[in-house]
Structure 1
Amino acid sequence: MAAPELRVIGLGGLPEVRPGDDIAALILEAAERQGIRLRRTGDVLVVTQKIVSKAEERVVALADVEPGPEAARLAQETEKDPRVVELILRESRRIVRQAGPVLITETRHGFVCANAGVDASNVGQGLVTLLPEDPDRSAGEIRAGLREGAGLEVAVVISDTFGRPGREGHTNGAGGIAGMEAFVDYVGRMDPYGYELRVSTLAVADELAGAAELVMGKLSGVPAAIVRGYAYPKGSGTARDMIRPAERDLFR
């Protein structure tokens, strides 16, 4: 029996994404230019949050932001632009932790991340992007566009960068998914030595996002990737499924 093999194919050459652009159509055009054919079933398409936010008009000009008193106070403590802090507060349910320049919040989606996902990279001077309002819906719309445009039945993952408690560095995770379950649950299965697994639930949507980032990078202009060869669990899972309930979150 052949050993499993995974292939990750970066999709570059997309034009600068504008408000209202059809991400699915741009992906199909980029794949055709690269001579890459998405398989009708079985592939996973990973798309960066940044181009989704641009297409969904989640780009804000800082010149249009008027910071309030709380933003002004936090801006002094964090040495951030008070207009950026104002947007962080608007996008947050609560501040989880602030220490020096680090500002960790819980977003309105329930994600715990730095700066509520407000980001000035890869967008232009004086502009920042916000997270999509509903990343799972965004993933579903891209998936529907691929089905309508090319008859594809693929899974879609919208990826973003997250920190990790207790570990340095960042990794990409799934902010939105469509066409697959978020997890593979091994609980109740037996390992080769006869031990019954009790807590092994793998966040495979996050793992797919992390694998795709290795070819997309942050500076290479590759905003999407195809992950091929992984038998992902088909279903109707959401990224919200991966948010740990407050009563089970030992870090709160």
Structure 2
Amino acid sequence: MTTTTSAFSAFALEPFPTITPGDDLATVITDVLTAQPTKLQDGDVIVVASKVVSIAEERFVELAEVVPGPAALELSARTGKPAEIVELILAESTEHFVAGDRGPIIARHHLGYQLTSAGIDRAGTNGAWLLPKDPDASARSLRDAITASCGATVAVVIADSDGRADRQGATVISIGAAGIAPLRATEHTEPEARTKRQEETLTDLVAAAGLILGQRGRGAPVAVLRGISYEASDAGVASMLHHAP
């Protein structure tokens, strides 16, 4: 049985500089950590907003270079979304459906995630950010660099802001992880002496650091969680998806 967490603490890495395309995100994170009064400890989990990972990895697309096809034009007319954005959604996904009369568009990204708009984030009126090419690999790279620099054995979770098909508003889910098992199993014995076992998406629970990360740039893009009980693993978020990449 996996030990559950009875209490934990969390803090944002602030002030955090603006990330620009091509930046070494791991170095930026370690520089901010060095300036923090609280230092990393073994077992800490660093939660990173996917947006800054996408920016550092130069996942930008100019909308002027996107040519919408007939399917995108039809879906754009139905939902009111720009046809270029809809074309990107279709290009980045394997299937989709429209929740409600005019959206949102819920799409299964080719990496296996089911996300609003295939995880595409508008960048003003002229561009868009795609998800990191391989979020689990991005998480491993960040974990290795941060561990080497700071000397503490840590885990990294990449979190993405996402809407849900059944409700308004946005939540936060994990799309990449390193050093932490994405699932945990808990057991308890009921009065009838039956043992019930439940798997939980632990990295999604950890992504609740979105309380600190905020939405659409309103908050810090990196947070540290301390006191989380977890098993070390590099299986990654992809390992728990029903639809493999």
TM-score normalized with structure 1 length: 0.86
Equivalenced residue count is 237
Q: Any residues of structure 2 matched to 1:72-91 within 5 Å, and which?
A: 72-91=73-92
Q: 1:96 to 1:224 in 2, by over 3 A?
A: same
Q: Tell me the CA shift for residue 4 of structure 1.
A: 3.6
Cα distance per residue 1:113-161 (max 9 Å; x no partner): 11101111xx444221111111001101101111222223211000012
Counterpart check, 1:27 vs 2:29? yes
| 1:59-99 deviations in Å (ceiling 9; x for gaps) | 11212222222211211111111111111111111123454
Shift of 1:25: 1.0
Equivalent in the alignment of 2:68: 67
C-alpha deviation, 1:168, in angstroms: 4.7
- 1:213 aligned counterpart, secondary structure: helix
Counterpart selection for 1:213 from 203, 210, 232: 210
- The 8 Å contact of residues 159 and 172 in structure 2, kept in 1 or not, is answered as yes
- Whether the aligned pair in 2 keeps the contact of 1:60 and 1:127 (CA below 8 Å) is yes
Q: Is the CA contact 2:116–2:164 (under 8 Å) kept in the aligned structure 1?
A: no
2 CA distance for matches of 1:34 and 1:148? 18
Once the two structures are superposed, what CA deviation does each residue of 1:173-219 show, in whole Å capped at 9, x if it has no partner?
11000011011112xx4437443014x11111100001x11112124
User: 3-state SS of the aligned residue for 2:139?
Assistant: helix
Using the TM superposition, give the Cα deviation of residue 101 of structure 1 relative to its aligned residue in structure 2, in angstroms.
3.1
| Residue 105 (structure 2) aligns with | 103
Please say which of residues 155-164 and 133-142 is displaced more in the overlay. 155-164
Counterpart contact for 1:179–1:235, Cα < 8 Å: yes
In structure 2, the residue corresponding to 1:36 is in which secondary structure? coil
Mapping 1:1-252, distance limit 5 Å: 4-39=6-41, 41-97=42-98, 99-120=101-122, 123-164=123-164, 166-186=166-186, 189-191=187-189, 193=191, 194-198=193-197, 200-210=198-208, 212-218=209-215, 219-245=217-243
Q: Structure 2: how far apart are the matches of 1:234 and 1:209?
A: 17
SS in 1 for 2:140: helix
Over 3 Å counting, the alpha-carbon distance change for 1:245 and 1:51 in structure 2 is closer
Within 2, Cα distance between the matches of 1:245 and 1:222?
A: 31
Compared CA separation, residues 191 and 220, structure 1 to 2 (3 A): same
Going from structure 1 to structure 2, the CA distance change for 1:167 and 1:82 (only over 3 Å counts) comes to closer
RMSD: 2.1
* Whole-angstrom distance in 1 between the partners of 2:128 and 2:173: 20
For structure 2, which runs of at least 5 residues remain unmatched after alignment? none
Given the superposition, is the C-alpha separation of residues 134 and 245 from structure 1 closer, same or farther in structure 2, using an over 3 Å criterion? Answer: closer
The percent of aligned pairs where both chains have the same amino acid is 35
Q: Distance in 2 between matches of 1:95 and 1:192?
A: 40
